[in-house]
């Protein structure tokens, strides 16, 4: 289990990341470039990851660390999983829906998740058994956090689901699963033909765009969507939001039904819908 000291450290790490990100956000020169996989990266991404790794090492020198930009460091039963800026494209564009994702994995299970979105002024966090909370960032004693609790869903046929990334960035197998879910539910965001790899013009917006959140899984945790499917993802894209969705009452697995962060797929859902959606997605394989 994660203790209160780990949660306090996660808040301090988030404050540190927020400060660095604010310094770079909407700056004239972000030092943006494309990585080998075509995704963007900025000097802010790198600076935040370096700073958080140094802070964790100073407080817990035996803990392991993995980040999107610089990979894995160390081996331990405790591992911090960091995405310095999730939504770098939005960060570069000057849009507010980006965040830092912070997770702690203990003995292979994620025991702490935090998402800090300073441009939105919001932070979400959860640890097992303590609920999911949303509050301002940085923490403000005069504005106490609110607890998020989900109600059960009904039929998946009536559900609204978000899927990301768009079909042009998915494999044939991933597109088949996405298309099956899109066809079997009432609403899909973005509203695309998920069965073809055609490039949409203009490029589609993320499901979270304009929602006041910054990650599709948060749309589930806050009750704005019934489900969210993320494909082609790394552990840093998934880990932090697992306890946030689950402690609100929702569910998580990859497309094989396992609670893993290393298979590239993550399905988050309102309670009562997960198995129905998983069956739809599997039927496409």
Known binding residue 15? Answer is no
Torsion of CA 173, 184, 251, 9, to 10 degrees: 60
**DSSP codes joined into one string, 236-275:** HHHTTHHHHHHHTT-EEE-TTS---SSSSEEEEE-TTTHH
Query: In this structure, what token pair is assigned to residue 236?
Result: 């840093």
Query: In this structure, what token pair is assigned to residue 229?
Result: 């499917």
Known binding residue 86? Answer is yes
Distance CA 151, CA 236 (A): 27
Query: In this structure, what token pair is assigned to residue 244?
Result: 């946030």
User: Can you tell me whether residue 27 is helix, strand or coil?
Assistant: coil
Cα 280 from chain centre = 23
Query: In this structure, what token pair is assigned to residue 67?
Result: 């980040």
Known binding residue 92? Answer is no
DSSP secondary structure letter of residue 99 = E
Please give the annotated binding residues, written as ranges: 68, 83, 85-86, 237
Please give the annotated binding residues for Mg(2+), written as ranges: 68, 83, 85-86, 237
């Amino acid at each position: 289990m994660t203790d209160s000291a780990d949660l306090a450290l996660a808040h301090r790490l988030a404050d540190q990341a927020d400060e660095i990100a604010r310094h770079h956000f909407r700056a004239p020169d972000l030092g943006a470039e494309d990585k080998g996989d075509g995704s963007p990266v900025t000097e802010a991404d790198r600076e935040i990851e370096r700073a958080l790794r140094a802070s964790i090492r100073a407080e817990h020198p035996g803990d392991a660390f993995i980040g999107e930009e610089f990979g894995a460091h160390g081996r331990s039963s405790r591992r911090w999983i960091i995405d310095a800026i999730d939504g770098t494209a939005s960060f570069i564009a000057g849009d507010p829906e980006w965040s830092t994702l912070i997770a702690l994995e203990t003995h292979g299970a994620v025991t702490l998740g935090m998402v800090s979105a300073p441009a939105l002024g919001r932070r979400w966090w959860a640890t097992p058994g303590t609920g999911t909370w949303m509050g301002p960032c940085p923490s403000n004693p005069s504005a106490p956090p609110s607890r998020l609790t989900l109600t059960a869903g009904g039929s998946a046929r009536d559900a609204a689901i978000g899927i990301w990334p768009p079909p042009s960035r998915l494999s044939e197998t991933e597109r088949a699963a996405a298309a099956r879910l899109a066809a079997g539910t009432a609403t899909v965001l973005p509203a695309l033909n998920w069965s073809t790899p055609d490039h949409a013009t203009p490029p589609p917006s993320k499901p979270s765009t304009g929602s006041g959140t910054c990650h599709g899984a948060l749309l589930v945790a806050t009750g704005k969507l019934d489900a969210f499917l993320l494909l082609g993802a790394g552990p840093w894209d998934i880990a932090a939001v697992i306890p946030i969705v689950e402690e609100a009452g929702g569910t998580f697995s990859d497309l094989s039904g396992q609670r893993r962060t290393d298979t590239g797929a993550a399905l988050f859902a309102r309670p009562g819908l997960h198995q129905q959606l998983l069956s739809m997605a599997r039927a496409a394989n």
